[in-house]
Amino acid sequence: MEAFVIEGGAVLSGKVQVHGAKNAALPILAASLLVRGEIELVDVPDLLDIRVMIDILTALGVEVEREGHTLYVNTDPLETNIVPEHLMSQMRSSIFLLGPLVSRTGEAVLSYPGGCSIGNRPIDMHINSLRKMGVTIHEYGGTLVAEAARLRGAHIVLDFPSVGTTENILMAAAFAEGKTIITNAAREPEIQDLARFLTAIGARIQGAGTHRIMIEGVPRPTHVRVTHRVMPDRIVAGTFVAASAMTGGDILICGAALEHMEAVIEAFQKSGTDISHDQGGLRVKGKRPIRALHKVMTSPHPGFPTDMQAQLMAHLALAEGTSVMVETVFDGRFRHVPELIKMGADIVVDYHTAVIRGVSRLNGARVKATDLRAGAALVLAGLAAHGTTTVMAPHHIDRGYEKLEESLASIGARITRERVASTLHGAT
């Protein structure tokens, strides 16, 4: 099996580049189905999730070519609105296809989406919201069949500011009949990036990035030719912040957007990390001792992102004192805790709360990535640990980080991707 093998203790220094955001590129790729035309997407990372989405688009008849980090998407030859089940099962984000396919073809056939096992993530809000817009949705043995003679604008109040639901409504509403208002909309930067793309292909959107978004439905353009640059990945940038903080490093994170990372920067600064704006990026200097944080609670943007919870926890495992982490977004997102404990961390979990008692050192161990961000946290712990850490199942990490081992090695980390023997305890 493949694994990341990390020899801990190296102090990171130098420059590292942040690639485009996976969580922005995926819905934008889905949104490309709304129109006929040629779409150029710049700074699209080469990740497993992106490859799955490209495979889905190709299965639907869309032509996609990659040159480096640029994708050329020709949506003219869309042939079907049936998404293959084996591709849906690989990625949660495939639910984004529901709104665009119904909008363009009047029908969509999808199975329930897959993805990381980080707890219950129902798609009820997606379904209920689209029903309010005139979509009829039936389930047949795990397959969703959605139909709409025409999409109509509606006032939709979300029970929770769900990013995916907000994005699905945005896409469905762009060329619907009448006005759509989303109240309690998600405010994440990725929502704003999707809105910028939709505007470029003709949509009229106001309020993206606030709790109230208004979409004025317009006639679908006959043909578009658009170039769009994907925003930088704020979670990848945050992971590099943690890497420098945990190793006592001094690195420049190029391309990081400070306005997207305020809660993350604040948390690490409170823990003692020196973070400043420098040369268009973030200069991050790790300091000792690491200070414990009384309470960190994940919440929708602009709060502390759930996608950085595991990485911050790895950092706080080495703090002086006791920290408390409360996870409010997903109910299964502490699966990295047993793996960190194998490395010597002192963490106790009670339902949605983790109590982290800082230890003086972590020790290398054989651990397993259980999901994308958990895997990133284990890599970070390995960078700071004494001895050798082997992180199994790196394919989870590859879903959100492009060649993470090469990026870290470029700033001094001793990390390689290797094939290692599987064991009952390490690779089941």
What residue spans in the chain does CATH classification 3.65.10.10 cover?
Answer: 2-19+232-419, 22-229
In which band, very low, low, confident or very high, does the pLDDT at 120 lie, cut at 50, 70 and 90? very low
Mean pLDDT, range 78-103, rounded to an integer: 88
| Helix, strand, coil percent values for the chain (each to nearest 5) | 35, 30, 40
Give the pLDDT score at 279. Answer: 77
Mean pLDDT, range 34-63, rounded to an integer: 96
Ramachandran quadrant class, 221 (left: phi over 0; alpha: psi -120 to 50; beta: rest): beta
Q: What is the pTM of this model?
A: 0.93
CA–CA gap between residue 264 and residue 302 (Å, rounded): 10
Give the pLDDT score at 90. Answer: 80
Burial-class residue 82 by CB neighbours within 10 Å (0-12, 13-18, 19+): middle
> Which are the catalytic amino acids?
116
Give the pLDDT score at 426. Answer: 42
In which band, very low, low, confident or very high, does the pLDDT at 122 lie, cut at 50, 70 and 90? low
Give the pLDDT score at 242. Answer: 98
pLDDT digits (tens, 9 = 90+) for 353-385: 999 999 999 999 999 999 999 999 999 999 999
Domain 2-19+232-419, CATH homologous superfamily name and number: Enolpyruvate transferase domain (3.65.10.10)
Give the pLDDT score at 113. Answer: 67
Task: Specify whether the CB–CB gap between 329 and 364 falls below 8 A.
Answer: no
Give the pLDDT score at 428. Answer: 35
Q: What's the residue count for the chain?
A: 428
Query: Could you please report the per-residue DSSP string of 130-141?
Result: HHHTT-EEEEET
Domain 22-229, CATH homologous superfamily name and number: Enolpyruvate transferase domain (3.65.10.10)
Query: Would you say residue 191 has pLDDT above 80?
Result: yes
**Is position 92 annotated in a ligand binding site?**
yes
pLDDT cut 90: percent of the chain above it: 86
Task: Specify whether the CB–CB gap between 54 and 33 falls below 8 A.
Answer: no
Mean pLDDT of the chain: 93
pLDDT cut 70: percent of the chain above it: 96
CA–CA gap between residue 94 and residue 422 (Å, rounded): 31
Give the pLDDT score at 422. Answer: 75
Give the pLDDT score at 12. Answer: 98
**Is position 23 annotated in a ligand binding site?**
yes
CA–CA gap between residue 175 and residue 178 (Å, rounded): 9
pLDDT digits (tens, 9 = 90+) for 104-118: 999 999 987 654 443
Ramachandran quadrant class, 207 (left: phi over 0; alpha: psi -120 to 50; beta: rest): left
**Is position 329 annotated in a ligand binding site?**
yes
CA–CA gap between residue 313 and residue 12 (Å, rounded): 19
Listed residue (327, 397, 34) closest to 205, CA to CA:
34
Query: Would you say residue 332 has pLDDT above 90?
Result: no
Work out whether the CA dihedral 311, 395, 167, 205 comes out positive or negative: positive
**Is position 22 annotated in a ligand binding site?**
yes
Give the pLDDT score at 405. Answer: 98
